[in-house]
Amino acid sequence: MNPISDRYRRRAEAFERKIAAVRPGQWSDQSPCEAWTARDVVAHIVVMHAAVLRPVQRNLSPAPSAGDDPLAAFRAARADVQQVLDSPDLAATECDSPAGWMSVEQQIDEVLSDDLVLHGWDLARATGQDETMDPDDVARLWATVSATPPELMQKYRTPGAFGPGIEVYGPEVPVPDDAPLQDRLLGLIGRRPR
């Protein structure tokens, strides 16, 4: 078993359940990401799936757009990424990333798979679903994000640093030191947990 593939699969299943639970009239509801609706959150995730396929010269398979059918768009993108993770040669391909050179599967794990957790919270918040993140995912993400060097964190918080319209994290939101770890993680990446 491949822990990166297993983690992606579990997180993608959770994100897909959130998409499936969105009622038709909720797709235009505001998400915690200021410029995005609930539909935009899913569209971003689908775009990120396309981005992690580029180093292995792959594109997303033909599918409805997230604008037309968010669930179908995500399912198709998810299958494409899972194929890469299930291929040892493709998964091991080296690629350049904002954090340096790494394997494609490591980039999927550290960027896309983590995005599924964080943006899963955004989608849940936007559509009134359960906002509780998996505690193991929270602990893992906290360890990673809180250890980010200040200069890289500053770059993550700078709109456009990784390309036009790209903002990785918002300004930190103060959260009490004794708040639950999920709340502290959300505050660190620029979300208002409550």
Q: How far apart are CA 18 and CA 45, in angstroms?
A: 13
Q: What is the pLDDT of residues 113-170, one digit of tens each?
A: 999 999 999 999 999 999 999 999 999 999 999 999 999 899 999 988 877 777 789 9
Domains of the chain and CATH, by start: 1-127 (1.20.120.450), 132-194 (no CATH)
Residue for token digits 């699969």? 9
Q: How far apart are CA 124 and CA 172, in angstroms?
A: 21
Q: How far apart are CA 76 and CA 65, in angstroms?
A: 10
CB 122 within 8 A of CB 33: yes
pLDDT of residue 40: 97
- Arithmetic mean of pLDDT, 44-48: 95
Q: What is the pLDDT of residues 92-101, one digit of tens each?
A: 999 987 778 9
Query: Hey, how many other C-beta atoms are within 10 angstroms of the C-beta on 132?
Result: 11
pLDDT of residue 169: 92
CB 129 within 8 A of CB 138: no
What is the overall mean pLDDT for the chain? Answer: 94
pLDDT of residue 162: 78
- Arithmetic mean of pLDDT, 163-191: 92
